[in-house]
């Protein structure tokens, strides 16, 4: 049998699920014990105590019916006094039938037992201040009998239930406190991992149970290994780029002395190599350059549009929705958006920038009127050094396939993502750089 439908009703958090695992058995145990106790107390015990009363009532009725007509009440009182009964004879029978309060389980069991064992009973009333009233049909008239409810119901039957509920609630509260202390190290580990996923290195020291400490130490080892790999990659590509700049500079100097017509294609090749080296260096830097700071996204968008206009690109500002600041690595995000703008300008004649700010994220949108990228090739386009010549002619102008990869890496480091789609208005590519707030 599949219980997959239960998943939609389960708590989402670890604390909620652990609390459910703790509370569910306690509540289930209390319910089962309570049901068994109620059945035992309100049925078996009440029936036994009621049958004892029936024997005394039977003896009382026999004494009343066996007495002479004028001595029936006196004969009954002689028996009722030692049995702690209050009687009256004869009386008018009640107009209504059996009376009991709603939810009076012991009263229901008592009435059923009295009815089955003493058929001459006319009516029963158990609603009057813990007293029981019976009207019995006898040969000397209707006999009214009154006695204490305690004689057919155990005193304080709710004590066990109250003790169970109070102790269960107290132990659940104590367990919840200990459970919260045990889950706190897991929450700290999750917070540290989430922050690192957004490009922030927070202070974290493993604590808690042995398994949680092991997971925390594994996270720290993984974080240190990733940081070493990033540092090594940055140093390697930076060193290669630096070493290649020297011969490129010598080539430029040498070509400056050559005839201009002969040197023009060679200078273009050198410029393209220089652009490729700059792209490699940007990719190597990633998000390690610069510090996180609070900036106004609207101001950043306007500055990028002005820079693009000065570079001779046709850029328009679209809609800007929302207000507020975001804390980001300004250099990295600016570089990512510049790559998206340059990529859009390379393949289209019109570029439009838009911005949308919500409580959880800021979305920068770059659209163009170029050929776009087919949906089946968009995932490939986000990979480093990927060049989709048929779709976007990415090798035109010295592109090396790193612009989208750099933007996607910057978005991931800020807890966001880079989405590629179709521009509904311009007809080209739509790139959404989403940054978590």
Taking the domains of the chain in order of start, what are their residue ranges? 9-151, 290-436
**How would residue 433 be classed by pLDDT, with cut points 50, 70 and 90?**
very high
Q: Is the pLDDT of residue 383 over 60?
A: yes
Judged by average pLDDT, the poorest of 146-155, 202-211, 251-260, 348-357 is: 251-260
Q: Is the pLDDT of residue 185 over 60?
A: yes
Q: Is the pLDDT of residue 3 over 70?
A: no
* Secondary structure E strands in 220-350: 292-295, 315-321, 326-329
Q: What is the mean pLDDT of residues 346-367?
A: 89
pTM surpassing 0.75? Answer: no
Is domain 290-436 given the CATH code 3.30.565.10 in the classification? yes
Integer Cα distance of 422 and 367 in angstroms: 8
**How would residue 392 be classed by pLDDT, with cut points 50, 70 and 90?**
very low
Question: What's the token pair of residue 113?
Answer: 């037992």
- The secondary structure element, H or E, covering residue 170 is helix 159-197
Enumerate the β-bridge partners of residue 363: 356, 434
**How would residue 363 be classed by pLDDT, with cut points 50, 70 and 90?**
very high
Q: What is the mean pLDDT of residues 294-321?
A: 85
| 166: Cβ contacts below 8 Å, ≥ 6 apart | none
Of 176, 166, 170, which Cα lies nearest the Cα of 19? 176
Q: What is the mean pLDDT of residues 177-189?
A: 84
How long, in residues, is the chain?
A: 437
Helix (H), strand (E) counts: the chain: 12, 11
What was the pLDDT predicted at 57?
Answer: 92
The single-letter DSSP state of residue 241 is: H
Residue 323: how many CB atoms within 10 A of its CB? 9
Return the half-sphere exposure (C-beta side, CA atoms, 13 A cut-off) of residue 9: 5
Percent of the chain with pLDDT over 90: 11
147 or 227: which leads in pLDDT = 147
Integer Cα distance of 337 and 351 in angstroms: 12
Q: Tell me the CA distances in angstroms from 98 to 55, 86, 108, 112, one per residue in order.
A: 21, 19, 10, 10
Return the half-sphere exposure (C-beta side, CA atoms, 13 A cut-off) of residue 348: 26
Q: Is the pLDDT of residue 151 over 80?
A: yes
What was the pLDDT predicted at 6?
Answer: 65
Of 123, 107, 134, 122, which Cα lies nearest the Cα of 47? 107
What was the pLDDT predicted at 399?
Answer: 55
Mean pLDDT comparison of 226-235, 270-279, 418-427, highest-scoring range: 418-427
Return the half-sphere exposure (C-beta side, CA atoms, 13 A cut-off) of residue 174: 6
Of 268, 256, 283, which Cα lies nearest the Cα of 384? 283
9 or 130: which leads in pLDDT = 130
* Secondary structure E strands in 358-401: 361-368
95 or 427: which leads in pLDDT = 427
CATH T-level assignment (fold) for domain 9-151? Beta-Lactamase (3.30.450)
| 282: Cβ contacts below 8 Å, ≥ 6 apart | 335, 339, 402, 406
Question: What's the token pair of residue 86?
Answer: 């209050």
What was the pLDDT predicted at 97?
Answer: 81
What was the pLDDT predicted at 144?
Answer: 93
What was the pLDDT predicted at 387?
Answer: 65
Q: Average pLDDT, whole number, for the chain?
A: 81
Q: Nearest-5° angle of CA 188, CA 194, CA 199?
A: 125
Integer Cα distance of 437 and 223 in angstroms: 22
What was the pLDDT predicted at 287?
Answer: 56
What was the pLDDT predicted at 5?
Answer: 66
Integer Cα distance of 405 and 89 in angstroms: 103
What was the pLDDT predicted at 393?
Answer: 44
Strands 351-357 and 315-321: parallel
Per-residue pLDDT tens for 128-143?
Answer: 888 899 999 998 889 9
**How would residue 364 be classed by pLDDT, with cut points 50, 70 and 90?**
very high
Percent of the chain with pLDDT over 70: 86
Q: Is the pLDDT of residue 269 over 70?
A: yes
**How would residue 191 be classed by pLDDT, with cut points 50, 70 and 90?**
confident
Judged by average pLDDT, the poorest of 17-21, 70-74, 119-123 is: 17-21
What was the pLDDT predicted at 376?
Answer: 85
Q: Is the pLDDT of residue 88 over 70?
A: yes
Of 307, 362, 304, which Cα lies nearest the Cα of 337? 304
Residue 207: how many CB atoms within 10 A of its CB? 12
Question: What's the token pair of residue 171?
Answer: 């132990």
What was the pLDDT predicted at 388?
Answer: 64
**How would residue 319 be classed by pLDDT, with cut points 50, 70 and 90?**
confident
């Amino acid at each position: 049998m599949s219980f997959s439908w239960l998943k939609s009703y389960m708590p989402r958090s670890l604390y909620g699920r652990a609390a459910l695992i703790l509370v569910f058995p306690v509540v289930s145990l209390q319910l089962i014990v309570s049901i068994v106790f109620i059945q035992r107390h309100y049925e078996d015990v009440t029936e036994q105590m009621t049958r004892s009363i029936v024997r005394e009532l039977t003896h009382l009725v026999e004494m009343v019916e066996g007495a002479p007509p004028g001595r029936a009440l006196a004969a009954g009182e002689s028996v009722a006094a030692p049995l702690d009964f209050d009687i009256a004879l004869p009386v008018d029978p009640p107009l209504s039938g059996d009376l009991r309060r709603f939810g009076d389980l012991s009263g229901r069991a008592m009435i059923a037992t009295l009815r089955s064992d003493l058929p001459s009973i006319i009516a029963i009333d158990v609603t009057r201040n813990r007293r029981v009233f019976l009207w019995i049909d006898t040969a000397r008239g209707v006999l009214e009998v009154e006695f204490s409810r305690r004689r057919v119901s155990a005193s304080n039957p709710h004590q066990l239930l109250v003790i169970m509920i109070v102790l269960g609630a107290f132990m659940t509260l104590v367990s919840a406190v200990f459970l919260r202390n045990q889950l706190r190290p897991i929450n700290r580990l999750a917070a540290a991992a989430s922050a690192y996923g957004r490009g922030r290195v927070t202070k974290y020291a493993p604590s808690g149970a042995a398994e949680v400490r092991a997971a925390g130490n594994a996270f720290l080892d993984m974080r240190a290994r990733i940081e070493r790999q990033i540092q090594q990659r940055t140093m390697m590509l930076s060193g290669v780029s630096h070493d290649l700049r020297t011969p490129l500079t010598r080539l430029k100097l040498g070509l400056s002395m050559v005839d201009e017509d002969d040197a023009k294609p060679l200078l273009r090749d050198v410029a393209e190599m220089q652009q490729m080296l700059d792209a490699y260096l940007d990719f190597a830097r990633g998000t390690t350059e610069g510090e996180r700071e609070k900036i106004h996204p609207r101001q950043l968008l306007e500055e990028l549009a002005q820079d693009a206009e000065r570079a001779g690109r046709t850029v328009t500002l679209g809609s800007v929705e929302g207000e507020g600041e975001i804390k980001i690595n300004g250099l990295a995000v600016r570089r990512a958006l510049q790559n998206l703008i340059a990529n859009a300008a390379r393949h289209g004649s019109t570029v439009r920038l838009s911005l949308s700010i919500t409580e959880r994220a800021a979305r920068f949108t770059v659209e163009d009127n170029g050929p776009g990228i087919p949906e089946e090739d968009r995932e490939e386009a986000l990979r480093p050094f990927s060049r989709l010549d048929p779709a976007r002619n990415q090798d035109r102008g010295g592109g090396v396939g790193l612009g989208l990869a750099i933007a996607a890496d910057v978005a991931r480091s800020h807890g966001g993502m880079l989405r590629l789609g179709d521009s509904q208005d311009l007809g080209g590519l739509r790139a959404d750089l989403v940054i978590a707030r």
